[in-house]
Amino acid sequence: MATPGTSGFPLLVVERALPDDADALTTAAHESKETWGYPRAWIESWHDQLTLTPEYIRRHEVYAGRVEATLAGFYALVDQDNQWCLDHFWVRPAYLRQGVGRRLFADAVDRIRHSRPGRLVIDSDPHAEAFYLRMGCTRIGAVPANMPGVERSLPRLEFQVAL
């Protein structure tokens, strides 16, 4: 689905990711996480969480947003029967602050609305919480995410998708 560019923002085309996209999506997730300045040891410990496999892409709804055929970002929705989970949501650093994240989030909400409206739950990186709040999400709690020697948590957010 094409999302029109507005006032100088790039044209974003969002399509279902293919299993062959796994390496490119994984690279984008790693690039995005690294922009937040986490220690290298933390990034390495998150390697498996940031890696998308062809099997994961086959099992879940993964959508890639491209600008002129270049991957700008992606998201993954996991259907948990009574709610949806936004399992991945990444915008590559070169496309930050260009409306790509806003348009990817709107695309995810539209897909849920047309599939099975309901609750979307997000365990957000702390650096991304403000973005999700701007998108209309509500903070409903926190999930422990301690790292060696550091107590930390991830904001748990929700978004109610109605018809």
Distance CA 111, CA 46 (A): 28
Distance CA 72, CA 67 (A): 6
Radius of gyration of the chain (CA): 15
Query: Where along the chain do its domains lie?
Result: 2-161
What global pTM score does this model have?
A: 0.92
Q: What is the pLDDT of residues 28-81, one digit of tens each?
A: 999 999 999 999 999 999 999 999 999 999 999 999 999 999 999 999 999 998
Give yes or no for residue 9 having a pLDDT over 80: no
The verdict on domain 2-161 having CATH code 3.40.50.300 is no
Distance CA 60, CA 130 (A): 26
> For 120-159, b where at least 16 C-beta lie within 10 A, e where not — what string?
bbbbbbeebbebbeebebeeeeeeeeeeeeeeeebbbbbb
Write out the two tokens for 5.
């560019």
